[in-house]
Amino acid sequence: MLTIGVVAIQGAVSEHIAALEKSSKDLDCKIVTIKRAGIVPHCDGLIIPGGESTTISRILRFEGIDKEILENKGIPMMGTCAGLIIMSDYKNERVEGLGLIDMQVKRNAFGRQAESFQVPLTVTVFDSPFDGIFIRAPAITHIGDATDVLARFEKYGVAAQQGNKLALAFHPELGNDLRFHEYFLRLFDFDR
């Protein structure tokens, strides 16, 4: 059985769970929430939802979840919005990214909450556009050699992948299009 953990500190946790349940209906899959240490080591994959990156970063450190994520960094992971920041190399006095994907990011690159928007994105791994929902979204400003940009908006990258790590500046869990959750599930090695 595949166990996928959803970091349940903040953000659209229930929406990610619902999208995973729909996307994994043909798999033997269990979805668990992660609010404390001790759960990540039992997960085969992980989703870090959006929310406020300062709060998520602090609670991950306080609970010791950050260390468990780093100790299990070989598993597939997807981060959305603030989750993208947490997966990146971003660091300031309040937020410490985990460096899971070699990329630099800019927080709130597209404006405040009132300036949220939805836009069709050309995604390199999909045959048709994906409607990205941007809410106080970050943006990718630089990637390392091992990282691929999967989608761009304006001058920024808004979706990236490095191996089995997927980072999105937008919220795929808030729409009805399940392709990013389905793509995430394809990152698992089912032959192990």
Is 165 part of a structural domain of the chain?
yes
The token duo for 41 is: 């080591």
Q: Known catalytic residue: 81?
A: yes
Catalytic residue among 68, 81, 96, 181: 81
Pick the catalytic residue from 15, 29, 96, 171: 171
Tell me if residue 43 is catalytic: no
Residue 191 lies in a domain: no
31 occurs within a structural domain: yes
Total of domains in the chain: 1
Asked, for residue 192, whether it belongs to a domain, the answer is no
Select the more confidently predicted residue: 115 or 180. Answer: 180
Structural domain contains residue 190: no
Judge whether 173 counts as a catalytic residue.
Answer: yes
Residue 128 sits in which domain range? Answer: 2-185
Q: What is the pLDDT of residues 72-117, one digit of tens each?
A: 999 999 999 999 999 999 988 889 899 999 999 999 898 887 789 9
Domain of residue 34, CATH code = 3.40.50.880
Query: What's the confidence (pLDDT) of residue 112?
Result: 80
Placement of tokens 């899971």 in the chain:
100
The pTM assigned to this predicted structure is 0.94
Mean pLDDT (whole number) for 55-72: 96
39-to-7, 32, 63, 68, 184 alpha-carbon distances in Å: 10, 8, 11, 9, 20
pLDDT in tens, 167-176: 999 999 999 9
User: How far is CA 23 from each of CA 30, 161, 170, 173, rounded to the nearest angstrom?
Assistant: 12, 19, 18, 11
